[in-house]
Copies of this chain bind each other. A is one copy, B any other.
Amino acid sequence: MKLYEVGERKLVEELTKNFSIPMDDCAIMDDGDEYIVLTTDMMNEQTHFPKGSKPYYIGWYSIAVNLSDLASAGAMPVAILAGISMSRNVEKKFFDAILNGMEDCMKEYGGKLVGGDTKESPLLTISITAIGKVKKDEYMARKGAKAGDAVYVTGTLGKEANLYIGNLDRLLHVKPRIKEGRKLAEAKVVTSCMDLSDGLASSLHQLSKINNVGFLLHEEWLPVDEVAKKMDLPLEFALYHGGDFELLFTMPEEYEKMLDMEFKKIGYVIEEKKILIEKKGETKEIENKGYEHFLA
């Protein structure tokens, strides 16, 4: 059996079957009153950084997507370790620009480079491990959503459309929702939280499986990004494309007014284990599709 018959999510599941909390964006380690929150992401030239990506934004992106995982747990970034493989023929200034992008992202959102490794390889590969901390009673997990809760997202959906109009800078200039994650964590009102790296549809299907619930979205409530609206099928981008790195969270509606931050209600948690979307009284089912490595 080849890996393309298995798919990334099943492989990660096997890789991490002994995880502390197998279903979250991060792993956690007990540390007194706090959790040390750990996440790792590996990115490759061909898959993650389209031809023409600027090294500054490559560096920025590599840090930002890891901080996004910490944000979904409500954690503050503490330390970062970076491994970079590159060809020996790469220009020194290309390497320097990657580092600048990394540093600027940490300056803005937190974290400090404490360890690293560079190696030779014909392809550019960046592997980041990000370490954060969060008080135990503020930690946000994927498990906890209950029927009757409302569903929310930060920011906008469908930003991967930037790839299709060639705006690679914006595609890679991901803003990790550290501040929003902290506000949600401090409020202690969230019943489940994850980040949208795999796309909204796939993320809701994952939350559905973990929490044994379903979701009913309202199409006109979705904060579709301006760039996705320029596409032929904006909803496709908002639902099925990865790369938004927004927070997706659930909580009882009554807490909305407690939160001093930007977010948007997109629907409700329901008992029936289906992911549905409603528009003008008509309801359709949302498929479980989205980007997954190794699968076609």
Q: Which A positions have Cβ atoms within 8 angstroms of B?
A: 1-6, 8, 11-12, 14-16, 18-20, 26-29, 31-32, 36, 38-44, 46-48, 78-79, 81-93, 95-96, 99, 112-123, 125, 127, 129, 131, 293-294
B127 adjacent to A15 (CB under 8 Å) = no
Cα-based distance from A161 to B77 in the complex (angstroms): 43
A104 to nearest B CB, angstroms? Answer: 14
A272 to nearest B CB, angstroms? Answer: 32
What are 18 inter-chain pairs, A to B, with CB distance below 8 A? A2-B89, A3-B91, A5-B92, A12-B116, A14-B95, A15-B116, A27-B81, A27-B114, A29-B131, A38-B81, A38-B115, A39-B81, A40-B82, A42-B84, A42-B119, A121-B125, A123-B123, A125-B125
Instruction: Kindly identify which residue among B19, B43, B44, B92 contacts A1, using a CB–CB cutoff of 8 Å.
Output: B92
Cβ–Cβ < 8 Å partners of A41 in chain B: 83, 117
B46 adjacent to A121 (CB under 8 Å) = yes
Apart from A3-B95, A118-B294: 14 A-B pairs, beta carbons within 8 A: A3-B92, A8-B118, A12-B116, A16-B115, A19-B115, A27-B79, A36-B36, A40-B83, A40-B127, A44-B120, A47-B121, A83-B127, A118-B293, A119-B293
Evaluate whether A125 and B85 lie within 8 angstroms (CB atoms) in the complex, with A42-B117, A43-B119, A78-B29 already known. yes
Instruction: Kindly identify which residue among B3, B14, B18, B88 contacts A89, using a CB–CB cutoff of 8 Å.
Output: B3
B88 adjacent to A3 (CB under 8 Å) = yes
A9 to nearest B CB, angstroms? Answer: 9
Cα-based distance from A98 to B6 in the complex (angstroms): 16
A92 adjacent to B6 (CB under 8 Å) = yes
A31 adjacent to B31 (CB under 8 Å) = yes
Cα-based distance from A217 to B115 in the complex (angstroms): 31
Cα-based distance from A167 to B69 in the complex (angstroms): 41
Cβ–Cβ < 8 Å partners of A96 in chain B: 14
B92 adjacent to A15 (CB under 8 Å) = no
A38 adjacent to B92 (CB under 8 Å) = no
B29 adjacent to A122 (CB under 8 Å) = no
Instruction: Kindly identify which residue among B48, B86, B122 contacts A3, using a CB–CB cutoff of 8 Å.
Output: B86
A11 adjacent to B95 (CB under 8 Å) = yes
CB-CB nearest in chain B for A11 = B118
A123 adjacent to B122 (CB under 8 Å) = yes
Cβ–Cβ < 8 Å partners of A12 in chain B: 116-118
Evaluate whether A4 and B89 lie within 8 angstroms (CB atoms) in the complex, with A40-B116, A113-B16 already known. yes
Cβ–Cβ < 8 Å partners of A95 in chain B: 3, 11, 14
A100 to nearest B CB, angstroms? Answer: 11
B119 adjacent to A19 (CB under 8 Å) = no
